[in-house]
């Protein structure tokens, strides 16, 4: 009989469930080195998990084999296009699990902002199903499954500060920085990652790609003992189209931000502050109608401590 946390799971007509947080990420650094033979782009990035989070309730359905996803955000698909659905399907296939799964998602992470919400939901689904059934994958197997789901999914199986290589799916834990206050701003529109990569890739000549890859092989690109350097190759592209994001970044820095940067391919912007007073002062610069989240960077140990909310 499956076991979750040392107690029998059982199928007595009652759905047994777990409530789990799916935390967002920001990119402290993102460098696009060029197109790979598989048509993805070679990246070097540093991810950082933050306290902004979706909430998932994952339930095992004692009868039937359906995977059901419901979300309080009507813009999020509930069917096979949803990454949490795909994660449940992949896990069930890998483990030979024949019961149904119901996933309820309460969205807080804006879609299309470069904050990894869908990827984090997928990782949380894998971890939640393991916790419910007691049928745990090894880390390497789990990472390979996550990489097939999406480039950002594996980082959420580590948490904290994470180095991403390849297309971002090859992940390595880095030493954590102290937790810091973080202001995250979403302008209300999303940016297609695939379209952004396509446009950025068109601007990279073959000689530029070769030189960038060679440079990475000869000297370190990650002297991130502190918050800097903060660099994102998508900023010139995004800021040229939406100069209001560039203006807001400058104002955050003027307000005392240790660093401010576009995350992923956008459209969300974040700023890290040393004090609550600086963060409060920076909020006044955010245009009306934009979503603002007061968050905090989330080190690895705290990430895992806070991941599971409760088991009803």
The enclosing domain of 225 has a CATH number of: 3.30.70.890
15 and 162 both lie in a single domain = yes
pLDDT at position 228, please?
53
How many whole angstroms separate alpha carbon 213 and alpha carbon 170?
Answer: 16
How many whole angstroms separate alpha carbon 260 and alpha carbon 50?
Answer: 15
pLDDT at position 82, please?
98
- Percent share of the chain, pLDDT over 70: 86
144 and 214 both lie in a single domain = no
107 and 227 both lie in a single domain = no
Looking at residues 16-32, what average pLDDT do you find? 95
Higher-pLDDT residue of 211 and 42 is 42
188 and 142 both lie in a single domain = no
Neighbours of 260 (CB within 10 A): 23
128 contacts 91 by C-beta, under 8 angstroms: no
pLDDT in tens, 29-45: 999 988 888 888 899 99
pLDDT at position 250, please?
96
> Residue 51 in 3-state DSSP?
strand
pLDDT at position 98, please?
86
- If one counts the domains in the chain, the total is 2
55 and 170 both lie in a single domain = yes
> Residue 197 in 3-state DSSP?
helix
Q: Is the pLDDT of residue 247 over 90?
A: yes
Domain around 268: 181-296
88 contacts 125 by C-beta, under 8 angstroms: yes
20 and 162 both lie in a single domain = yes
129 and 264 both lie in a single domain = no
99 and 193 both lie in a single domain = no
Going from the C-alpha of 51 to that of each of 165, 183, 190, 221, the distances in angstroms are: 24, 11, 21, 27
Q: Is the pLDDT of residue 22 over 70?
A: yes
The yes-or-no answer on residue 25 being catalytic is yes
- Percent share of the chain, pLDDT over 90: 73
311 confidence band (pLDDT: 50, 70, 90): low
How many whole angstroms separate alpha carbon 176 and alpha carbon 191?
Answer: 29
Looking at residues 117-138, what average pLDDT do you find? 94
pLDDT at position 213, please?
38
pLDDT at position 310, please?
63
304 and 222 both lie in a single domain = no
57 and 88 both lie in a single domain = yes
Catalytic residue among 54, 121, 152, 233: 152
Return the CATH number at 114. 3.30.230.10
Residue 167: asked if its preceding bond is cis (omega within 30°), the reply is no
């Amino acid at each position: 009989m499956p076991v979750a946390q040392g107690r029998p799971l059982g199928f007595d007509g009652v759905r047994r469930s777990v409530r789990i947080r799916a935390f967002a990420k920001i990119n402290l650094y993102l460098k696009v080195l060029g197109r790979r033979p598989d048509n993805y782009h070679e990246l070097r990035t540093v991810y950082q998990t933050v306290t902004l989070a979706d909430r998932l309730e994952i339930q095992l359905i004692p009868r039937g084999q359906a995977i059901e996803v419901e979300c309080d955000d009507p813009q999020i698909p509930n069917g096979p296009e949803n990454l949490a659905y795909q994660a449940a399907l992949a896990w069930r296939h890998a483990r030979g699990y024949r019961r149904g799964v119901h996933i309820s998602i309460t969205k807080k992470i804006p879609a299309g902002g470069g904050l990894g919400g869908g990827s984090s939901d997928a990782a949380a689904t894998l971890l939640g199903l393991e916790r419910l059934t007691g049928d745990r994958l090894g880390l390497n197997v789990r990472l390979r499954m996550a990489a097939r789901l999406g480039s950002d999914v594996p980082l959420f199986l580590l948490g904290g500060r994470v180095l991403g290589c390849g297309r971002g799916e090859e992940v390595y834990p880095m030493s954590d920085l102290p937790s810091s206050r973080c202001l995250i701003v979403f302008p209300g529109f999303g940016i297609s990652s695939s379209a952004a990569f396509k446009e950025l890739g068109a601007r990279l000549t073959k000689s530029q790609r070769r030189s960038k890859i060679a440079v990475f092989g000869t000297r370190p690109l990650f002297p991130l003992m502190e918050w800097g350097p903060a660099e994102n190759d998508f900023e010139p592209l995004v800021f040229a189209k939406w100069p209001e994001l560039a203006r807001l970044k400058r104002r955050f820095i003027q307000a005392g931000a240790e660093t401010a940067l576009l995350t992923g391919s956008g459209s969300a912007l974040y700023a890290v502050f040393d004090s609550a007073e600086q963060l409060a002062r920076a909020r006044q610069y955010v245009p009306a109608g934009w979503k603002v989240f007061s968050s905090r960077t989330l080190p690895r140990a705290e990430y895992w401590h806070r991941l599971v909310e409760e088991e009803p």
